Every structure is written in C-alpha cells, then in structure tokens.
Amino acid sequence: MAFFLAGSLLLLCCACGPGPEAPGVPPQSAQQSGAPEDSLPPEEAPPPAEEPETPAPEPADDDFVRVQDYIPDIRVELKYATADNFTGTVIYGFSDAYLRYGTVKKLAAAQETAASDGYSLLIWDAFRPTAAQYKLWEICPDPVYVANPNNGFSSHSRGNTVDVTLVYSDGSAVEMPTGFDDFSPLADRDYSDVPSAAAAEHARYLETVMEDCGFQPYSGEWWHFSDTDS
C-alpha cells in the first residue's frame, strides 16, 4: 500500500511540471523585451533626390552679354583697355568684350568657321562706352576714323560692331595688312598695296568668313565689321 501511494505521487508531480517548449520559439530571455516599435532605430533613409537646376533663360538678341561666356575659345585683347593704341592712353577701364547677344551668335559662327581652318578670331574692340567715344573724338576728330559722338551713338556704342583680326589656333600671329588703328591707305579693303600676298589672302579670308556670318565690312578698316541685323 505504501508503495502504491509513492508511485501515484511521483506521477502527479511529473504531470504538473513544465511541458516541452514549442519548436521555433526562442526562449523568453532572447525575445524583445516589449519595447514599442517606434522606439527602435529606423532604417537609414535614402538621400533626397537632387532637384535639377533650372537653366537660365536665353538672353534676348538686344541684351548685352560677355562674349567669352558664349564663345569660350575666342581670343580677346582690347586695345583701348591698354595704352597700346593710337592715342597712347587707356580709353576705358575693362578688359572683357561685350556685344549684343544677337551679334555674339553670329560671331560664334564665324569663330567656328575660323577654328575649323586652324585660326581663331582675336577681338581688338567690341562695345565702346559713349564716354570712351567722346575721348577718342577729342584726340582724333576725323569722321573717317572716329565716329562723331555728337551725331549720335557709334555702332561700337550700340554693341553691334566688332574689330577683329586673325591669329592661328595656338595664338601665334597671322600676317595681316596692318596693325590695329592704322590710318594709312594700307588699312582699307583695297588689298593691292599691302606688304605681301599672304597678308592680302588672310584679310580676304577674314572678310569672307565675317560676311558669310552676317557682318558688313567697313571699307576703310579691314578689321571693322558690323552686324547687318541691328
């Protein structure tokens, strides 16, 4: 009888003990401790997409622009920004060339043609302030060579005229009929009296390129060209 009671008590204790754990369920100590989801570290967010830059509107044809901003490979050596001109004095105090945007577009086409043939345009003068025109007129009051500012704005002051010569693409000199602001008969477009056939050929080439791109040459100066549309 005592043996039977001891066995019954043993079976009862086994039945009341913890059962086997369900497969795949981690023990309580390995589970999250009940922290709310919004307190957990968030996943790294992707960087915001960059907004595309809005391109600047194209200037109007009559707007004045810096030539080098639209023709980066053109060469600029403004003679009136230095004392290297016929007056021997500085006429204006800036060294960048400015023109009407419509004129710059034509000049860009001329530069592209010259570059394809191994040359570059070199700007000697472009926009010229009215005060500079008065200064030139005081020094040289001859309408053959300097426009009289008392009769209205010169074409240079309107930003539609450019004085250019040719150089090679590497910047070395090309033989031309004269230097800038030469007041001798050699400066006109009758090339029969220029120093060499090469100088005449280069001047004719420049004239052809500029005319083909919409510029009107001035008969008294081989370097002087005005935009026909302004």
The set of catalytic residues is 221
Query: What is the separation, in whole angstroms, between the first and last Cα of the chain?
Result: 130
Are 90 and 119 a contacting pair, CB within 8 Å? no
CA 146 to CA 218: how far, in whole Å? 12
Query: Phi then psi for 105, rounded to 5 degrees?
Result: -60, -40
Cβ neighbors of 158 (< 8 A, separation 6 or more) are 100, 230
Q: Count CB neighbours of 84 within 10 A.
A: 15
Q: Measured at the alpha carbon of residue 90, what is the angle toward residues 74 and 217, in degrees to the nearest 5? A: 45
Closest CA to 154 of 140, 167, 170: 140
What crossing angle do the helices spanning 197-212 and 101-116 adopt, rounded to 10°?
A: 130
